[in-house]
């Protein structure tokens, strides 16, 4: 049986894990457990849809204080209200204030609100981030170029069970009167995980 | 139309927000979602998340029923790490299942 | 006193590589495969995590997608979705196809 599957698309020698992954996928397709179309559709969602949602939601929260309040009470519900289906993700939004800076990690694996932010960056999944950010968050944030003053308390969230987290950064000075579209442009993925802050 | 929620009800819960709790100083093998570094530490319930099937059972193909109550617990970093170098007001928060918690 | 290879919080470590190196095509497809299996409820995320944790020392030798692919292999074999012989045959077929391209 021939497969209409693309050949290796990455540069360099083929990893044995790529071959293993393709082999498992094809066996499962042959056995009718999944379809190639389903996998293709998931790839599309991860590439074209999920990564763009987070900044839109937070921009809307910045523009609409009542929505922000609802987002902080129940992240999943507020996103649904905004037309975003987070699938299985149970979102909790945590707010940065002049007194508190939040940062997210999953020390046990790499849980991340994928349906809101797309795939986590490689540093988030790295062993060094998972080892150190819970124990010395300020030093790790400094490695990202983010300095938190002593009088601001740092709050680390270890996303270790059923909930997923997003940081609502503080809206920077100089962004007054901006449209939600303009606001979304400065809300970086890194600021939604808490290793950076948006700049106007 | 009912919108989905991050939370589920947990009327049978033992603890409420504000309660002081200690994580059991227990180190069994198997799939656990309570990180090693927090075992035996004390903190405060930050919120009730709801009741969910037990991941320790789901991991082995079982149903995870009856559901267990899940909480967010807040700890002072200085209480977790003896040599913590940041601010006394720094916190670490995570989700802990009820069967891992003791009242204090 | 048991601690799995995945239970990393608080361990000493070097600097974080703060660059996002992104994902290769095969990694995106591997991720989509995993995501399809969990959203179709063929496998539970909890089972995939447990299978990764049970990799033991190999956990540290593999990078993230190598780990998730190895865990998926163990779990699918465990649950009988295919036999080791079927998998070996399919791996050989895929490898031949890649070598020929």
Flag whether pLDDT at A5 surpasses 70: no
Contact A116, A79 (CB under 8 A): yes
Supply the pLDDT for residue A6.
Answer: 52
Flag whether pLDDT at A14 surpasses 70: yes
CA-to-CA distance for B83 and A130, rounded, in angstroms?
Answer: 18
Active-site entry in A109, A126, A153, A179: A109
Flag whether pLDDT at A8 surpasses 80: no
Query: Which chain C residues are within 8 Å of A127, Cβ to Cβ?
Result: 8, 13, 60
Chain A, window 169-188: residues with a beta carbon less than 8 angstroms from a chain B beta carbon: none
Query: Which chain A residues are within 8 Å of C93, Cβ to Cβ?
Result: 23
Supply the pLDDT for residue B23.
Answer: 98
User: How close, in Å, is residue A1 to chain B by CA atoms?
Assistant: 33
**Is A111 marked active-site?**
yes
Altogether, the residues listed in chain A come to a count of 200
Place of tokens 């035996």: B40
- Model confidence at A158, pLDDT cuts 50, 70, 90, reads very high
Cα B36 to Cα A102, A162, C100, distances in angstroms: 22, 18, 48
Q: Which of C3, C13, C14 to mutate to test the interface with A (most CBs of A within 10 A)?
A: C13
The two tokens of residue B60 are: 């082995």
Cα A73 to Cα A57, B5, B7, B47, C84, distances in angstroms: 14, 10, 10, 11, 48
The mean per-residue pLDDT over the stretch B47-58 comes to 98
- Model confidence at A50, pLDDT cuts 50, 70, 90, reads very high
Q: Domains of chain A by range and CATH?
A: 16-48 (no CATH), 50-193 (3.90.330.10)
Altogether, the residues listed in chain B come to a count of 104
Supply the pLDDT for residue A11.
Answer: 81
Contact A154, B87 (CB under 8 A): yes
Neighbours of chain C (3+ CB pairs under 8 A): A, B
Domain ranges of chain C: 42-100
Flag whether pLDDT at B90 surpasses 70: yes
Altogether, the residues listed in chain C come to a count of 101
Q: Does A141 touch chain B if contact means CB atoms closer than 8 Å?
A: no
pLDDT in tens, C22-71: 999 999 999 999 999 999 999 999 999 999 999 999 999 999 999 999 99
The mean per-residue pLDDT over the stretch A102-111 comes to 97
Q: Domains of chain B by range and CATH?
A: 20-103 (2.30.30.50)
CA-to-CA distance for B12 and B9, rounded, in angstroms?
Answer: 9
The mean per-residue pLDDT over the stretch A140-155 comes to 98
Supply the pLDDT for residue A13.
Answer: 86
Query: Which chain C residues are within 8 Å of B60, Cβ to Cβ?
Result: 47, 50
Flag whether pLDDT at C88 surpasses 90: yes
User: How close, in Å, is residue C55 to chain B by CA atoms?
Assistant: 13
**Is A21 marked active-site?**
no
What's chain A's average pLDDT? 95
Supply the pLDDT for residue A2.
Answer: 41
Return the percent helix, strand and coil in chain A, to nearest 5: 45, 10, 40
**Is A79 marked active-site?**
no
The two tokens of residue B74 are: 């807040």
């Amino acid at each position: 049986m021939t497969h209409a599957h693309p050949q290796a698309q990455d540069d360099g020698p083929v990893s044995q894990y790529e071959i293993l992954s393709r082999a498992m996928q094809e066996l499962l397709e042959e056995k009718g457990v999944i379809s190639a179309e389903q996998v293709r559709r998931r790839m599309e969602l991860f590439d074209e849809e999920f990564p763009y949602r987070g900044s839109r939601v937070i921009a809307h929260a910045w523009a609409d204080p009542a929505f922000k309040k609802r987002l902080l009470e129940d992240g999943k519900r507020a996103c649904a209200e905004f037309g975003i289906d987070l699938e299985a993700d149970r979102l909790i939004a945590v707010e940065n204030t002049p007194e508190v800076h939040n940062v997210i990690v999953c020390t046990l694996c790499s849980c991340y609100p994928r349906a809101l932010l797309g795939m986590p960056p490689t540093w988030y999944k790295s062993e060094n981030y998972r080892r150190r950010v819970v124990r010395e968050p300020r030093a790790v944030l400094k490695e990202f170029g983010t300095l938190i003053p002593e009088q601001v308390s740092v709050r680390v969230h270890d996303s270790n069970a059923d909930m997923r987290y997003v940081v609502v950064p503080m809206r920077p000075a100089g962004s007054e009167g901006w449209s939600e579209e303009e606001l979304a442009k400065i809300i970086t993925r890194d600021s939604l995980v808490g290793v950076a802050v948006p700049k106007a | 139309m009912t919108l989905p929620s991050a939370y589920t009800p947990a009327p049978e819960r033992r603890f409420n927000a504000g309660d002081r709790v200690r994580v059991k100083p227990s180190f069994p093998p198997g799939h656990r979602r309570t990180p090693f570094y927090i075992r035996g530490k004390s903190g405060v319930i930050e919120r009730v998340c709801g009741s969910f099937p037990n991941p320790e059972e789901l991991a082995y193909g079982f149903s995870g029923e009856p559901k267990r109550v899940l909480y967010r617990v807040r700890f002072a970093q200085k209480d977790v790490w003896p040599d913590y170098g940041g601010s006394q007001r720094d916190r670490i928060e995570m989700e802990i299942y009820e069967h891992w918690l003791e009242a204090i | 006193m048991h601690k799995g290879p995945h239970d990393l919080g608080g361990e000493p470590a070097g600097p974080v590589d703060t660059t996002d190196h992104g994902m290769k095509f095969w990694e995106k497809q591997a991720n989509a495969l995993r995501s399809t299996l969990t959203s179709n409820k063929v496998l539970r995320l909890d089972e995939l995590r447990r299978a990764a944790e049970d990799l033991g020392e190999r956990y540290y030798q593999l990078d993230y997608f190598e780990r998730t692919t190895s865990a998926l292999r163990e779990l699918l074999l465990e649950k009988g979705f295919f036999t080791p012989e079927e998998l070996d045959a399919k791996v050989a077929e895929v490898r031949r196809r890649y070598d020929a391209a």
